[in-house]
Amino acid sequence: MKHRYFVFLLMLVGLALFFTDMKQERGSPVRQLYGLAHMGFFALTAPVLSRLPSMARRPFSFQFFVVMSVAFIVGGCIELVQPYFGRTAGWGDLGNDAVGGLLGAMFFLPARRSLGRGVLLFGQLAALALTAVVSYGPLTTIWDMRRASKQFPVLGDFETRFEARRWTSGEIHAGIARHGESSLQVILGTGKYVGTALKRSFGDWRSYSTFAFSLYNPEPLPLPITVSIRDEEHSRRGGEYRDRFNRTFVMEQGWNDVSIPIADIESAPAARKLELDRLSGVAIFAVDPPAPRVMYLDHVRLIR
């Protein structure tokens, strides 16, 4: 009996964590584990529910229905309430909840043993396959975060396909490269602001003198490109144009090597200094191009 109460208490504590703002930026590995935490919580919900007297006497089909209903209903309610506690809602988390419920039902419900061997094996394999699918993105991102920390002060050399995930858009392209064998191919549409932006693994820029990158323009028509760099404080201050670094460069046909003094970046905001150890965005983009274009980004780095 005491063990049962302890398990229920543990589940309540776990549920409370869904409404706790961990204060983790999107570039933190902790953020990548949020979805897996959803899945793990609802996987453990299955054996907890099975301990209820009204559940223990029921067949597996009823228990399975209850577990999946709890995953969808409770998970959906969590997603609706989370924004009021500084967390964000998402369909992906609800999918993780469902996969967790399936995983728990197929591996932890005692009544699963009443299923035929083939049916149970199929259900378990399906649960494992879905678990692998939803875990692939977060786990590979965490792997690339570790790789990025080892690469620093290189922010992007695009020699592995996972590096493209550090940027909001673009695909690894072999054959056109300023350094190594690959670059990031970015298709520029005709929107107002089109390009790509580093979204994580910024590192600390304070001990460096220059931010540099190479950009290939395959067309004879020059391509104006804007570099915008902002920190976490920029968002808290309202995101005004005068509160970040912005500079435009004209890319001629072929490779263009761009170097920006870190001192210029730091002193860019009108009323303060940019926090170089707390950057939140590095964007390289075109403004309202009249026709679709393409650019190749390579060897994004810091120089001492």
Q: Which of 150, 184, 215 is the last residue of a domain?
A: 150
Q: Based on the domain organization, do 34 and 160 belong to the same domain? A: no
| Measured distance CA(29)–CA(96) in Å, rounded | 17
Count of domains observed in the chain = 2
CATH number at 235 reads 2.60.120.430
Contacts for 67 with CB less than 8 Å, ≥ 6 apart: 45, 46, 49, 101, 104, 105, 109
- pLDDT tens, position by position, 241-260: 899 999 999 999 999 999 99
Q: Which of 150, 178, 204 is the last residue of a domain?
A: 150
Task: Compare 39 and 83 and report the one with higher pLDDT.
Answer: 39
- pLDDT tens, position by position, 98-126: 999 999 999 999 999 999 999 999 999 99
- pLDDT tens, position by position, 269-280: 988 999 999 999
| Measured distance CA(281)–CA(103) in Å, rounded | 37
Whether the bond between 153 and the residue before it is cis, its omega within 30 degrees of 0, is yes
Cβ 293 vs Cβ 223: under 8 Å: yes
Q: Based on the domain organization, do 234 and 169 belong to the same domain? A: yes
Q: Based on the domain organization, do 140 and 165 belong to the same domain? A: no
- pLDDT tens, position by position, 52-103: 888 888 999 999 999 999 999 988 888 788 777 666 667 788 888 999 999 9
Q: Based on the domain organization, do 167 and 136 belong to the same domain? A: no
Q: Based on the domain organization, do 145 and 183 belong to the same domain? A: no
Residue 1's pLDDT band, with cuts at 50, 70 and 90, is very low
Q: Which of 122, 150, 178 is the last residue of a domain?
A: 150
* The overall pTM is greater than 0.85: no
Structural domain boundaries, residue 161: 154-303
Is the Cα torsion angle 271, 279, 233, 236 positive or negative in sign? positive
